[in-house]
Amino acid sequence: MQDDILTGKLQKLIDKDEILDLISCYCHGIDKKNLSLFMSIWAADAEYDLPRGRAENSEQIRQLVNKVWREVPKCHHHTSNPMIDIQNDQAIGKSDVLYFRQTSDGRRCWLSGGYDFEFIKLSDGWKIKSLKFSSFVEDSPLFQAFIS
Q: Which residues pair with 133 in a beta bridge?
A: 115
What is the nearest approach in angstroms of a copy of itself to the Cβ of residue 56?
A: 26
Nearer CB in complex with a copy of itself: 11/90 = 11
DSSP reduced 3-state for 35: helix
Rounded Cα distance between 20 and 93, Å, is 10
Nearer CB in complex with a copy of itself: 28/52 = 28
- Strand 74-87 and strand 143-146: pairing? unpaired
Nearer CB in complex with a copy of itself: 44/145 = 145
- Strand 42-50 and strand 125-135: pairing? parallel
8 A C-beta contact, residue 73 and residue 104: yes
Helix (H) or strand (E) holding 120: strand 107-122
What is the nearest approach in angstroms of a copy of itself to the Cβ of residue 59?
A: 26
Q: Is 31 in the site for a copy of itself (CB under 8 A)?
A: yes
User: Binding pattern to a copy of itself, positions 77-106, x when CB under 8 A?
Assistant: xxxxxxx----------x-x-x-x-x----
What is the nearest approach in angstroms of a copy of itself to the Cβ of residue 137?
A: 6
What is the nearest approach in angstroms of a copy of itself to the Cβ of residue 122?
A: 18
Amino acid at 17: D
User: Binding pattern to a copy of itself, positions 101-140, x when CB under 8 A?
Assistant: -x-----x-x-x-----------------------xx-x-
Q: What is the Cα gyration radius of the chain? A: 17
Q: Which residues pair with 135 in a beta bridge?
A: 113
Vertex 104, ends 100 and 107: CA angle to 5°?
A: 50
Site residues, a copy of itself (CB under 8 A): 1-2, 6-7, 9-11, 13-14, 16-17, 21, 23-25, 27-28, 31, 74, 76-83, 94, 96, 98, 100, 102, 108, 110, 112, 136-137, 139, 142-143, 145, 147
